[in-house]
Structure 1
Amino acid sequence: MNRKKPVNLLLVEDDLADQMSFKRFVKQEQLPYDYTIAGSVAEAVDLLKKQTFEIVLADHALGDGTAFDIVDYIPMATPIIFVTGSGNEAVAVKALKLGAADYLTKDLNGEYLHLIPITIDNVLKAKAVEAELESYRRHLEKLVEERTAELRLEIDYRKRAEERLMQEKERAQVTLKSIGDAVIVTGDTGLIEFINPAAEKLTEWRHAEALGRPIDEVFHIIDEKTRKPLPNPVAQCLSEGEAKILMSGTVLIDRLGREYAIQDSAAPIRGEGNEIQGVVLVFSDVSHARRLSRELAYQASHDPLTGLVNRREFETRLNRVLQTRKVCEDQFAFCYLDLDQFKVINDTCGHTAGDELLKQVTSLLQRKVRKRDTLARLGGDEFGVLMEHCGIEQAERLADELREIIADYRFNWNNQSFHIGVSIGLMAITEEFNCLNDLLMVADASCYAAKDAGRNRVFVYQKNDEEIRRLSGQMQWVAKLNDALDHKRFQLYRQPICTTGTQNGEHYEILVRILSADREVILPGAFIPAAERYGLMSRIDEYIIENTLLWFAEHSGALADLSMCSINLSGQTLGSDSAQHCIQAALKKFNLPADRFCFEVTETAAIANLNQATRFMGALKTLGCRFALDDFGSGLSSFAYLKNLPVDFLKIDGMFVKDICCDPVDLAMVKSINEIGHLLGKQTIAEFVETEEIYLHLLELGVDYAQGFWLGRPEPLGE
């Protein structure tokens, strides 16, 4: 719009950052705006009383009210543009009903600023058109008055002309209010009468070319998934007499064959007698939003490292197969793959090498897996293959091909070459399996049977298989552990942790045992592996946390004597929001001093869930809790991650400590860990102190704390 003088504009915005963004944008784009800024409703009202503005741009949410509070102070001839937050469509609708010329939606990146000059220009153009129409109407009325006598014979023609003028005015008003989107107006026969620039851009039809053409010729839409043509909303509007909104997943194909994801609506234009005189079609390009939605859906169902289907989606497909088996007799098979020697490479070369290995293995497996089948990463170094329309004999051949391609592969990293293998559990999905849990349990056990048989082989499950029954014995711990939790058969023990300096209060670690129904004490080595494997460690950890804190709440004397109480957390708990809330709630409920409690996490668990571990520790350290890194030194990448973990204590792995009296390498390792820990401001604890000689060596090295049978054996908490 060509102007000789700048636009006299009032900006109503209480956010200083948004004010600055507007100023910078106007200056950067050299916009011809003579603007005044009001930072509140009161300031805006005061300015509107004193001076006249050509246009008002108002943010809806203001500190002392809303933009609706200033509407009554704006002259009728002065257009107002509302600026709303994302998701405030109701505000925008209300604003338009109150007479707003248009509205804009803010976004976090400030992209809406680029729409301001376009919208202002369109509103001013609309105002000019309305003024021109009003001038034309007045001129016409004057002519009618002057020439009444001459036009008596043409009264019918004049009435028709006035009706056409009313139709054009209504169409113009709808078009002007929709100017930010693409707009096409048709007559009552579906022939195009108007197409705005935005619609020209999306359809690649110029106004002059589209005029008079059928709407189907210019506006061609299909279903995004089926690729089939969709009914034209204009035709539906004309036939049904009601507004239409297009279904989600609509795609517009322009004149050049390019595709745009759109959302649109069509509404009938009615005359004075309520007859349909045409249709206005409003649509907009939502390709970016729809693409983002597809990406989010993909991320929710795929593994970000390998691009394969993730465990959640894989289990959904397995469940679908289980349901299908109930109504048809098609054949399905399930392969459960676990890489051999992956941990060696991951610990030796680091997680970057481990990630690269997983990506390369994925490429190898994809070469052999049929297109109809589903290959998924189930977690860590475990993969799954769902074979559809596949008998067990064919599945066994395919599984062996997968094993062979992995066995023949060599992973090269930093001038080192590694041989890996894969253990595969294979099973037919038959009527034997009614639920997903049973299916996964047998597949898991079959995979472990392959590992037990020597690794790098395929184990084919047979109904009532003795080997699977043997492995299922471990799985039976699931029921025993749940029973122990339900009947409170877990017993808390404590083992002292002694300072090598002056002891100030009691410091000990909480350990756990199970007291079986026949009063047998079961050590953790018997049930912890099963608990970790079958996802019960978080429940056990929460049981230990709650009962330990409850015990101290009930024994104020023990709490008074306490210097530090250490509680072990598993890797599963470290990534659990519920465990974090459990600790926070228990400390608050029992009103216990958080700085008396230290939570021990193993080095391997912390590194495997580094981001989660850091967030978990950070949340509890704000309350005052302490953290210890257990079994430190067992991983080969320990020091690389140490600076990133907010721990207070390092527990030196007992495999180094127990032989420091006779093994100079172990002695050097303990010395190095102790010195680096102290340099990083962390205290050290040595495990497996089983003799006085070991203890004296630790004193000489300057290790802060010691723990082991020589200093004290575990005993029930409270004894």
Structure 2
Amino acid sequence: MTWGKVTTFVVLYLALCYLALASIGAPDQVSLLWPASGLALAFALRYGLIWCLPLAVALFLFHSLFEREPGLLTVVSIGANVGGLVAALLYLRWRGEERMLSIRGGFLLLQAAMLMSLVSGLVGIGGLGLIGDPAGNLFWPSVLQWALGDLLGIVCITPATLLALSRTRESVEAAAELDYAGARGKLLWLVLLTLSLLLIFMSGFGRSSYVLGLSVVPVALVVWSAIRLPPIWTAFGNAVTGLAIANMIGLGLSGFEPPTEMTDRLYLLVFLVLLALFPMILMASTHEIRKSSRQLFHRATTDIDTGLPNRTAFEVTARGLLDSTGAPWTLGYLDFDHFTLVNDTASHAAGDALIKAVASLLGTSLYPGDRVFRIGGDEFALLFQCQGREAELRAERVLRAVESFRTGWDGHILSTTASIGLATLKPGQGDYAQLLSQADAACFTAKELGGNRLCIADQNSAALQDRTDAMQWAVRIRQALNQNLFELHCQDIRTLGDGAGQGRHFEILLRLREPGSGRLLPPGLFIPAAERFQLGPKIDRHVIDLVLGWMEAHPAEARTVSACAINLSAGSMQDESFAPFLRERLSRSSFPAYKIIFEITETSAMHDLAHAQALIAELRRLGCRFALDDFGSGFCSFKYLQTLDVDIFKIDGGFVRDMQTSELSQSVIRAITEIAHVLKKTTVAEHCETEELGTQLRALGVDKVQGFGIHRPQPIDDYFAA
């Protein structure tokens, strides 16, 4: 409570009291409404029970200024008004409702207003009867008239005053200005409301008995404001309309005749209360609906962890910019570099803390007008309100800010770097999916180049085009896995010389049936993309399921198999869950594990030699065998022969193709074969395209051969039917 607020309240209270007295046109009349009660309730709701003291002071000044002999009448008035106010505040505190701009809050406020009016009327009329005032002779009708006058004043004045005093800051829960009519709509409403009140005033000079019917015009405008305008406008319009009509009637203006009978006054007061109450109920209802809609929209478009707009909000914004006209923007696709290291070393909670901290940093690193969205786990979208070199400079500023940022968490100092892909957003050109794909591809290219840098999307860039093609293949691979579009082909691996006819030894080769055209696509088209996007383990498991499923469905053919070679990707070699998966799958299969040979490449094994050897040992215990594919192509092949416990060395096809023209290739093949035999391993020469090559390989001591000159791959059904 400050002296400024107290002075303002007292002045306004006295002004409203004077307005109520001015509406009395004859000595035997009483005021139809008491707007000062609404002012007192609004201030008390805003500032608390202590506001009963300024109310008592205002009432004392009122009776001192406007009554010739205040005396006991002042005491009765103060007791009635303060008593009613205290009763209303205690009731609201007991019910515990603070949201007055809602249906529940509005009805509680109405209940409190009715209680305040009734208590004030009982105390006031009862006090007047005790001091011998004639107004106390008709007790219950007088109490009802007092209460209805106070209630009308509260309905008209309290909402407008309360909203003016609250000065609530715009929040995400409140309805946005865009939900309401604009400046033109507000001005039009204000003009029409003024004209409607003037219409009532001017029409009354015709002495029509039905001029009160015109009150529906300003009331209809207040109802319109409840639907289309902010609450303060509705409350203001309702207050002005209520005061204007009540004073016209009280003063007998515009053809109105003030009611002289108690019954007429009560009927008129009930009518005016209902007339003023309906727009307030509608206002509370529409405001609550708008508020709920804004809350739902905010939750749907906001990331809970960081408070930033989420992917949905980004898509809406980006599509809106694409559909608009104006200057181009630049989309920046930001992704943290090696962020999994933070989760793995410090915990996922630490990773979440770092994301929140960097999200705040991004918001402060942007220029006015630029925007940031969180569109994934550690992925953010930046919209720069510029293009070209200026956008690059802003993106580089963001990268340097992220690089230099440090934050503490549970004794750790957390930091990271980021990569950004830039794509130009041109209004009216392109679409959302294409724009996001370009920026994402550019970001991935920046990460592949080492990270902590930016890359600009350029359709003519070979690296970016390669990335885009790989992304498209990744989508097609996932579709093929879901729709079972992969097919198995088999290629013979034949023994040279003695030992032939010991059963079928073949390698499983994968093909993808292209939807629509029905073409069979070779693995060279999709395996690189699968490895790039870590889809190798999924494909490996799918192939194993297909092979074992076919063998289980064809037991007679399965008995003719001596060795079935299946390629294993580098991802499966590092997958901790692969061995448990294979163990479980073999446990319910009729196809024996010893007939399965997993082919691994030298490069995939060298990636983590200890882990590769551990996996080989574990799968060997299940009965599986191993072949080292493309042997000899690496620099360290011979060094790891004893470390990697494999059964078969598959000699790289490059040496086989060159052996007729290169003595070096012949020497390498001979050396591999001799070392393999010393280690009691088997050798298989790949890419044997002619019978002549087969004869030469046999002379060099190679055990088995594989290639188009021996057997062309066939679908698995055809292979076993041959």
TM over 0.5: no
**Structure with bigger RCO (C-alpha 8 Å, 6+ apart):** 2
The structure with more radius of gyration: 2
TM-score normalised to structure 1 length = 0.41
The structure with the largest helix share of the pair is 2
TM-score normalised to structure 2 length = 0.41
